[in-house]
Chain A
Amino acid sequence: MVAHQGVLVNGEVISGRISTMTRELLNVGRRLSGELSQPLSALLMGGEQAEIAKEVIALGSDRVYLIRPSSQGSHPEIHVAMLTELVKRVGPSIILFGHTDMGRDVAPRLAVRLGATVTLDCTDLQIDRETKKLLQSKPVYGGNAIAVWVSKPEGLQIVTLRPKAVMPAELDLSRNGEIVEMDITINESSMKGQLLETARQEVQGAKLEDAKVVIAGGGGIGGREGFKMLEQLAAVLGGRVGVTRVPGDEGWMPTGLEIGQTGRIVTPNLYVAVGISGASQHMAGCSGSKYIVSINRDPEANIFKESDFGIVGDYREVLPSFIEKCKKLVM
């Protein structure tokens, strides 16, 4: 077993492109490995990744490990088995995952398998100057507080990073690096369970996470009907509609549109929060927005402490004229 050295980024490829999350991880990884004076490497799972591997090097990685996919596809157990094997050979001191579907499922399993420490959904990662240990910051109590964890024993530290917590890395085509093909076979017969089906929700146009404008509605909307006004506004501004947990729970809108700590994280240019109180769990999903505008009847609502602009009033009275004016202005 190689001694723990180096930062390893778990890269994800989506539709033939390196994911934005991976770019964010490479940005952080570059910084951390620089502070540790250790190499940064990345791993990519999947065939035909040579071109992408070059891009990963340009984004900051010193080395890229290419692992051939197994026939079973993306069952987390397969990832874990492959990664376990890779880690045994490579011996990183830090592994960075994105807090994605795959990351949040694989990272904990891997940590248990390897006897590592693990912290999920980090919003900040720093290297302690003296101990050289990784300082793992994450929101707790629904975002009411920030906890900073440090691993006690020497050894492997695994973390997942919250999407959009940092900026993505920028391409530097002058960078050089090494591409290593890893031959890893695992015993698939010992896998317990099968992935039967993967379904993607039908989304017209841009996904919520990529939208430049998000109009979000909460409990204050009062019912399915009220969302029609939000959909109107979204159409005028070229945005998408999101929700907090209440409309999902009540069945007014699909739960897949939930923005929050355990839902989607969005960072639009403009976030309009309508009838939303601003509970931390929800703010975790939208606090990265450039501008936040809120409409709420309760002047004490927390949302106003997190907004740039606000109106204290009933959205039913405020929105129609707001929509009309926006129509004129965006013409």
Chain B
Amino acid sequence: MNIIVCVKQVLDPEIPLGRLKVDPKAQQVVAPEGICPIINPYDERAVELALRLKEKQGGKITILSLGHPSWVAIVKHALSMGADEGVLIADTAFEGSDSFGIAHVLSKAIQKIGNYHLILCGRQSADWEEGLVGTIIAEKLSMPLVTLAEDVEVIEQGLKVKQVTLGGHQVFAVPVPAVVTVSQEVGRPRLPSGWGIINASRKQVPVWDAKSIEIDLSQVGVRAARRELIKLSVPDRTRKCEIIHGETMAKAGARLADRLREAGIL
């Protein structure tokens, strides 16, 4: 079963709060110095899911990323985990694209790669949190879609996908080829092995530009974006914390209970 996994690079969402600065004029979030960007954690879990399927079913995993040439590092990371090939798409014409523009480019690239049974994407990105690209790709390529998958099983008629819901889960059956977006419940992604890293570092990751995928430029870039970001700001923190002290931790614990009673909370 051949799988294409779409990945993107983000700033590490685990960066301690307050270290991410918002530049309201440039409408950008700025990372502190020395902090390396990482693969979108949800996309990394999509790679993990693809690897599990490959272990059971065989087939080829292709990593696809639309971004900046420096993003080759995250493609290589996915390769080192065990994916077979990677493709990076980069072109200044794509800058400022919204989810629709991004999905348009990815769909074209997917068609160019061809020969796939399953497209996997993370459920959303840890930066803009849009959660749209996977869905739009499915619509553009007229493929069945299941979102927020925790597990995928290959069955005779196609795939059985377990979807996470707020109340439990749902199970869908879909024919292939299909698009599935992946949720964090898939579980922790594996560490690359040393041999994986060696193999990945030897691989070439081709970079495709707009021309090589025959993109209709009117559908991408800032001008094609359907929404505009008019404000980016840091949320207000309104609470003021009262720290409860005590000669011992045990005394502090008891005092906390008293204080909550005083405040009418208990």
Given A140-B127, A318-B252, A321-B253, check contact A149 B132 (CB 8 Å): no
A317 lies within 8 A of chain B by Cβ: yes
CA distance A320 to B254 in the complex (A): 9
A256 and B168: CB pair below 8 A? yes
Beta-carbon nearest neighbor of A109 in chain B: B135
Q: List chain A residues, Cβ under 8 A from B231.
A: 146-148
Q: List chain A residues, Cβ under 8 A from B147.
A: 104-105
Expressed in whole angstroms, the minimum distance between the Cβ of B11 and any Cβ of chain A is 7
Contact of A108 among B136, B167, B257 (CB under 8 A): B136
B259 lies within 8 A of chain A by Cβ: yes
Q: List chain B residues, Cβ under 8 A from A325.
A: 253-254, 256-258
B228 and A150: CB pair below 8 A? yes
Given A145-B22, A317-B250, A319-B253, check contact A120 B174 (CB 8 Å): no
B37 lies within 8 A of chain A by Cβ: no
CA distance A311 to B259 in the complex (A): 12
B239 lies within 8 A of chain A by Cβ: yes
Expressed in whole angstroms, the minimum distance between the Cβ of A253 and any Cβ of chain B is 13
Q: List chain A residues, Cβ under 8 A from B258.
A: 325, 329
CA distance A141 to B18 in the complex (A): 12
Beta-carbon nearest neighbor of A153 in chain B: B226
A142 and B13: CB pair below 8 A? yes
B26 lies within 8 A of chain A by Cβ: no
* B182-198 near A? 1/0 per residue, CB < 8 Å: 01110110000000000
Beta-carbon nearest neighbor of B161 in chain A: A193
Contact of A120 among B131, B248, B252 (CB under 8 A): B131
A255 and B257: CB pair below 8 A? no
Given A105-B147, A144-B234, A322-B254, check contact A262 B183 (CB 8 Å): yes
A119 and B230: CB pair below 8 A? no
B131 and A313: CB pair below 8 A? no
B178 and A193: CB pair below 8 A? yes
Q: List chain B residues, Cβ under 8 A from A101.
A: 165-167, 170
Beta-carbon nearest neighbor of A128 in chain B: B230
A144 and B251: CB pair below 8 A? no
CA distance A280 to B185 in the complex (A): 19
Contact of B132 among A120, A292, A330 (CB under 8 A): A120
Which residues of A, 95-133, contact B by the 8 Å Cβ criterion? 100-101, 104-105, 108-109, 111-113, 117-121
A264 and B160: CB pair below 8 A? no
* A291-331 near B? 1/0 per residue, CB < 8 Å: 11110000000101111111111100111111111100110
A86 lies within 8 A of chain B by Cβ: no
A302 and B18: CB pair below 8 A? yes
Q: List chain A residues, Cβ under 8 A from B234.
A: 144-146
CA distance A305 to B173 in the complex (A): 45
Beta-carbon nearest neighbor of B129 in chain A: A140
Q: List chain A residues, Cβ under 8 A from B131.
A: 104, 108, 120-121
* B71-101 near A? 1/0 per residue, CB < 8 Å: 0000000000000000000000000000010
A193 and B175: CB pair below 8 A? yes
A: interface residue count bin:
35 or more
Q: List chain A residues, Cβ under 8 A from B172.
A: 75, 193-196
CA distance A276 to B263 in the complex (A): 23
Q: List chain B residues, Cβ under 8 A from A1.
A: none
Given A141-B11, A262-B184, A326-B266, check contact A119 B227 (CB 8 Å): yes
B265 lies within 8 A of chain A by Cβ: yes
Contact of B249 among A118, A139, A313 (CB under 8 A): A313
Q: List chain A residues, Cβ under 8 A from B187.
A: 249
B130 lies within 8 A of chain A by Cβ: yes
- B contact residues, total (Cβ < 8 Å): 83
A198 lies within 8 A of chain B by Cβ: yes
Give the most central of B130, B225, B240: most A CB within 10 Å: B130
B207 lies within 8 A of chain A by Cβ: no
Q: List chain B residues, Cβ under 8 A from A196.
A: 160, 171-173
Given A112-B135, A144-B234, check contact A195 B183 (CB 8 Å): no
Given A104-B147, A249-B187, A329-B261, check contact A199 B232 (CB 8 Å): no
A293 and B227: CB pair below 8 A? no
A152 and B178: CB pair below 8 A? no
A140 and B170: CB pair below 8 A? no
Expressed in whole angstroms, the minimum distance between the Cβ of A79 and any Cβ of chain B is 13
B265 and A305: CB pair below 8 A? no
A23 lies within 8 A of chain B by Cβ: no
B167 and A201: CB pair below 8 A? yes
Q: List chain B residues, Cβ under 8 A from A118.
A: 132
CA distance A302 to B14 in the complex (A): 12
CA distance A304 to B22 in the complex (A): 21
A100 and B174: CB pair below 8 A? no
Q: List chain A residues, Cβ under 8 A from B230.
A: 135, 148-150
Given A279-B14, A326-B257, check contact A117 B226 (CB 8 Å): yes
CA distance A142 to B187 in the complex (A): 19
A245 lies within 8 A of chain B by Cβ: yes
A91 lies within 8 A of chain B by Cβ: no
Give the most central of B16, B160, B251: most A CB within 10 Å: B16
In addition to A112-B136, A146-B235, 9 A-B residue pairs with Cβ atoms within 8 Å of each other are A100-B166, A109-B145, A140-B127, A142-B126, A150-B227, A193-B173, A278-B17, A281-B13, A319-B253
The 6 closest A-B pairs by CB, nearest first: A325-B257, A192-B144, A317-B249, A193-B174, A322-B253, A321-B253
Could you jot down 8 A-B contacts, CB within 8 Å?
A142-B13, A152-B225, A192-B174, A245-B184, A262-B183, A278-B17, A306-B239, A308-B239
